[in-house]
Copies of this chain bind each other. A is one copy, B any other.
Amino acid sequence: MNKQITVVKDIKEMSKLSDEIRKKGEVISFVPTMGYLHQGHISLINEGRKRGNKLVVSIYVNPTQFGPNEDLSRYPQDFEGDFKKCEDASVDIIFYPDNSQMYPDGYKTYVNVEDLTENLCGASRPGHFKGVTTIVAKLFNIVKPHIAIFGEKDFQQLAVIRQMINDLNMNIEIVGMPIFREDDGLAMSSRNAYLSPEERKGALILYKTIGLVKELCNNGENDASRILKQAEIFIKLEPLAVIDYLKICDSESLKDVDKVGEETLFALAVKIGRTRLIDNYLF
């Protein structure tokens, strides 16, 4: 028999609960999610359970991080399934707010990390990270965690959140967890649910391209533009794939670099049909 999960929908109730937990001297670990949980999320949740006494998972599809032509309206949701997975993973509290509480009429405040948000997904999805940092700041203020856990698949998101935490003096430890992959290498993502069987096969091009790039580097190539050119040619062999970006950049500044070295990041975003997928590899 699993322990009871508390589902909290009300912001004030969550805030009060967190205050009580903190007053007892317990450590709150926190995994913010948009739901439709997969093994990647579970790996974050498992890490959270190790690191805290009280484990909070939020499930909230944040509208402000979606652009006007993005997939907000069709983003997959399955609260019952998520609840079951959280129960199995011994989550203590699910925070499950709604839009009218998170962004009431007259909402006006946004948190923005400049500079780090200009390249990669920030360039393809204007305003996306402003939405991410705003909702994460809000969730942190409500849940008041000691530790928060994010996946490295969203590498830029993790970098941006670390920057926000440091800059705004939020006293929260940020933990990044490795990309969790399907058996064939596809990075786990809630958006994989959009893929038709044929697209699911085509989606493997992202992981294969990482393999190609590693192979090139292992063979002594370190020129970023030559590597990116080869990766581009390679991806174009997959008829379902349309490149959004292919980048080799510094893993701290997220600025493009000319040569691959230590702490260089290879990151890519590719559309497979209507579904935009991302992946990355840190050298």
Where the two chains meet, the residues of A that have a C-beta atom closer than 8 Å to any C-beta of B are: 11, 15, 19, 23, 25, 107-116, 133-134, 137-138, 141-142, 163-164, 167-171
Contact = CB atoms under 8 A, between A and B. Distances in A.
A23 B23 CA distance: 6
11 contacts: A108-B114, A108-B163, A108-B167, A109-B112, A109-B114, A109-B168, A110-B112, A112-B112, A138-B168, A141-B169, A141-B171
Contacts of A113: 108-109
Identical copies of this chain, number: 2
A26 to B, nearest CB: 12
B138 A109 contact: no
Contacts of A167: 107-109, 138
A164 B141 CA distance: 12
A111 B133 CA distance: 10
Contacts of A141: 168-171
A278 B15 CA distance: 37
A141 B114 CA distance: 20
A275 to B, nearest CB: 31
Contacts of A107: 167
